[in-house]
Amino acid sequence: MDRTTQLTARRTDLTGPVRTSGSPLAPGAGEIVRSAPDTSEPDVYDPAAYPAASVRTAEPVRTAGPARSAASLHLRAARVLADNWTGASTVPSRGLYPHQWSWDSAFISIGLRHLSPLRAQTELETLLGAQWGDGRIPHIVFNPSVPLDAYFPSPDFWRSSTAGRAAGAPRTVQTSGIVQPPVHALAAWLVHLSDPGLSRSRGFLSRVYPHLAAWHRYLLHRRDLGGGGLVSVVHPWEQGMDNSPTWDEPLSRVTPAPARSFRRADLDHGAAEDRPTDLDYGRYVRLATDYRDGEYADGRGEFAVEDPAFNALLIASEHALARIACELGAAGTARHTRAERLTAALVDRLWDPAEGMFFCRDVRTGDLVPERSVAGLIPLLLPALPRDIAAALVRTACGPHFGLGDTTRLVPSYDLTGEAFDPHRYWRGPAWFNTNWLLERGLRLHGERGRADALRDAALWTADTSGFAEYVDPYTGEACGALGFSWTAALALDLLHEPHEPHELDEPLGHGVSPMGIGTFRHE
């Protein structure tokens, strides 16, 4: 047990333990506790409770289209989150995605912290309450009140409580068996910063830290399938960019499940031409079925890919865990060192200097996958990225393949010049708000303030005019997918409220961080 786990184990009695599931705890993890709802808290979505003065930027959002006030945008985004709040967590959208999703909740909590830090903490606590004993955080936590046919694959497909028993799946809540990108520690630290007093009084960080540490241990120890120090995803859904052309080559080895063996609920909510093809979906189902039937043991399947975005988010979250460790009175040096080691492995294994971006590596063949995806730009988020690589990523983002600041309104999910590019088909070209939020942070971190400001303004305008769409046409901003999408609204709130300068989280942990990890000063 490391020093921080020892400290947090002693602090988990701050509010009195209440188990959120019947699952065995992850190794070294403390109880996730959830205090009773604070009935004295105002309705955090009530416009009267949040006047325009509470928004950091009161001037109209700067855009090429009609100007709307920041306060008005704030209120409309807040209403989206109100509509999608279930009482303990937030669904991505009521129709297409009626359960809790892992990385969605992380992004949602980042926006919720500007409305209610308590509710943002609850969002993450609810998710962590469904963590498996081996440390994995499942990509879906199912709501038992939702009919089985409302979403596929449904809980009876995953059979988590039986097929996942050996891996420590919860006994009293149904989940999927795969994971999603590890944004959670980054989100937890930002939520803490929004109200440190509340966070400390509830013991928020002391309770979530062991769960987050166990989550990272699972990824680093069980998912280093390529042996080079990076994490592999074993299903396209794990990386989050489900239908990216990046997966076409690795997926070609997978025999699809028969079409008659499943029914796609997603086509009830979107046009078939905007969704994955039946052939691709059949391969997704086959991979998930084989993983389930293998009792969710890692390393046996046909699909294993090292992805730059997934690993970059793990590195960013390692930096965040270092800060959480400092806040809890322990040294964060080891985690900072691990993050730097992972950054070096990312460059060594996935960087292509000739192309000026990162690529996925197919672990089964050992080859890089020559498809340009927005995932290859996300490492711009990392503070220890070599300066020449950061500069090359900016050039690539602004060049003909992604069109930042030139031909596109927002950075597309896939190469504009690629054969598989489609501006409307799921992750094969449309622009998504979470990836653009990450790129905005990366640009700002590496001194590209003008480009970051322009991307921020474009994202706010597009979120507003698209009805907080799930994703949009990268050229026009036309809405695609679900409307009233939670992470779009949440990240718009964050862009509205955050100061236009690098976060302290973006500073490498070291001489520029105070002993408690809360304030920073610039390096001399």
Q: Give SS3 for 100.
A: strand
Residues 6 or more apart from 215 whose CB is under 8 A from it? Answer: 26, 131, 135, 136, 137, 182, 184, 185
Element at 283 (helix H, strand E): helix 278-293
To the query of whether residue 440 is one of the catalytic residues in this protein, the response is no
To the query of whether residue 242 is one of the catalytic residues in this protein, the response is yes
Q: What does the angle CA 116 – CA 118 – CA 121 come to, to the nearest 5 degrees?
A: 115
Is the distance from CB of 494 to CB of 114 less than 8 angstroms?
Answer: yes
| Catalytic site residue from 470, 494, 498, 506 | 470
Is the distance from CB of 343 to CB of 382 less than 8 angstroms?
Answer: yes
Is the distance from CB of 383 to CB of 391 less than 8 angstroms?
Answer: no
Over the range 162-197, which residues count as b (16 or more CB within 10 Å of their CB) and which as e? Answer: ebbeebbbbeebbbbbbbbbbbbbbbbbbbbbbbee
- Burial zone of 147 (CB within 10 Å; 0-12 exposed, 13-18 middle, 19+ buried): exposed
CA 274 to chain centre: 22
DSSP string, 156-189: HHH-HHHHTGGGT--SSS-B-SS-----HHHHHH
| Catalytic site residue from 242, 266, 278, 352 | 242
Element at 394 (helix H, strand E): helix 387-398
Is the distance from CB of 361 to CB of 241 less than 8 angstroms?
Answer: no
Q: Helices 184-194 and 204-222 sit at what angle, rounded to 10 degrees?
A: 160
Residues with catalytic function: 242, 470
